[in-house]
Structure 1
Amino acid sequence: MPDPAFAHPRLAPLYDFFEGPRRDLDAYLDIADELGAGRVLDIGCGTGSLAIRLAARGRIVVGVDPAEASLEIAKAKPGGSVVTWLPGDAAAASGVDADLAVMTGNVAQAFTTDEDWIRTLEEVHAALRAGGHLVFETRRPERRAWEEWAADPAHLILDVPGIGQVEQRRQVLEVKLPLVSFRYTYRFLADGTAISSDSTLRFRDRDEVESSLRATGYRVLDVRDAPDRPGREFVFVALRG
């Protein structure tokens, strides 16, 4: 089940406004150029910010996400009509024959059990052509990002067009490594309604991720820094075997 932040009809339209310009996605555009990827699969595409930018550069793009409320927003965006949007998980993209599959943001960490993570890697493998690439990011556990989250409630009030002022707050609920659970609460100031979205992320270290990739038929080509967050993220570039 996707988190309410992406699936709730009142929360999904807020995502792009609170996330801002998403400069973190620039690196994925550069990697797609670097790898010469003509057909790209965006797993956990959300509201389509990356998929639409990739398609605008002339690529064939398939976006997959289990949150249909987010997909509806993606479809309605300028340029959204040229992307193929699929509801569901990576299994929905079987046979896409992509040159490149990507998982941006928190997508890779949202698979909290070993079974779900391995199954997802296998499903992506089936969606890639022979010699295709998988690229994704995950936070470095040693940076202990949850301590920064606990210290910063991410309190913000934005005036969202068509909705009005919305207040956001964050709360760390539980740290039981390798799992960290947190809650975002959004209060709509026009009517006082408050809606919360709870999430849990799994923090895998580099060895664990590399081992899981090898076990599912990939070869790790590179592990990079995220250019906009040096020292905070691993960016894995893997080749489908």
Structure 2
Amino acid sequence: MPDPLFTDPRLAAVYDAFDGPRDDLAAYLGIADELGAERVLDLGCGTGSLALLLAAGGRTVVGADPAAASLAVAQTKPGADRVRWLHGDATTLPDLAADLAVLTGNVAQVFLTDDDWARTLGGLRAALRPGGHLVFETRRPERRAWVDWAAADPVALDVPGTGRVEQRLQVTGVHLPLVTFRFTYRFLPDGAVLTSESTLRFRERAELTQDLLTHGFRVLDVRDAPDRPGKEYVFVTQRVD
């Protein structure tokens, strides 16, 4: 089940403001061009930032997410009518025959159990055409991202249509390969306080490579995320038939 950050309408409405300019997305547009992908699935599309950019380039795009509140935000954005929005996860996808499936941000790390990850890879493989590609990013465990999270200062922003909102991040548990953290949001106009707790799984490169092979993908390349060099792996894989 998605975290409140994505399912609570009030939190979903301020997500983009705190998520920043999304400098990471340009790399995915480049990969789509590199692979000649015309039909793209953005799994865990959230508020639709990447899906909309892909569609603006003339591609046929499906944005899928299990969080209805995030999809509702996505559907209010300019160009939203160019994207097919689906409420669900990889196990509920129709036959898409996609050239490319992408998982950005934290999406690949929200599957905490081996069974959940296996079902997700199976659903993604089925959504791709023969020879289609799966591209996703995941944080390198040895870089210990949670140390930086624990040291992060609170952030306060003036969010259009909402007013001033304060965000605080706390790391609440490190039990590798799982790391749990909590966002607390204070809405200053009315004093409301909302929290969202998340857990991510930090998988090693070798583990991911084996999982992909087991579930019908071959790894073509493992790259750096250009906006975060040395901190993440970007897996470029292909469906094997």
Normalised-by-shorter TM-score class: over 0.9
Q: Distance in 2 between matches of 1:162 and 1:218?
A: 44
Cα deviation, residue 147, structure 1: 1.0
Secondary structure, in 3 states, of the residue corresponding to 1:23?
coil
Q: Which runs of 5+ in 2 are unaligned?
A: none
CA RMSD of aligned residues (A): 0.6
Q: Distance in 2 between matches of 1:75 and 1:149?
A: 31
Per-residue Cα deviation, 1:216-239 (whole angstroms, up to 9, x for no partner): 000100000000100000000000
Contact 2:52 2:80 in 1 (8 A): yes
Secondary structure, in 3 states, of the residue corresponding to 1:227?
coil
2:105 corresponding residue in structure 1: 105
Contact 1:64 1:86 in 2 (8 A): yes
Q: Distance in 2 between matches of 1:27 and 1:111?
A: 23
Contact 1:52 1:79 in 2 (8 A): yes
2:199 corresponding residue in structure 1: 200
Q: Structure 1 stretches (4+) deviating beyond 4 angstroms?
A: none
Q: Which runs of 5+ in 1 are unaligned?
A: none
1:169 corresponds to 2:201: no
Equivalent pairs: percent with the same residue?
A: 67
TM-score, normalising length from structure 1?
0.99
Q: After superposition, where does 1:1-241 map in structure 2 within 5 Å?
A: 1-153=1-153, 155-241=154-240
Cα deviation, residue 20, structure 1: 1.2
Q: Distance in 2 between matches of 1:151 and 1:159?
A: 23
Q: Distance in 2 between matches of 1:170 and 1:236?
A: 28
TM-score, normalising length from structure 2?
0.99
Q: Distance in 1 between matches of 2:168 and 2:216?
A: 41
Contact 1:94 1:123 in 2 (8 A): no
Corresponding residue pairs, total: 240
Q: Distance in 1 between matches of 2:73 and 2:81?
A: 11
Secondary structure, in 3 states, of the residue corresponding to 1:135?
strand
Cα deviation, residue 151, structure 1: 1.6
Per-residue Cα deviation, 1:127-173 (whole angstroms, up to 9, x for no partner): 000000000000000001111111224x1111111111000000000
Q: Distance in 2 between matches of 1:160 and 1:149?
A: 22
Cα deviation, residue 91, structure 1: 2.1
The one-letter amino acid of 2:217's match is: Y
Secondary structure, in 3 states, of the residue corresponding to 1:78?
coil
Secondary structure, in 3 states, of the residue corresponding to 1:37?
coil
The one-letter amino acid of 2:185's match is: Y
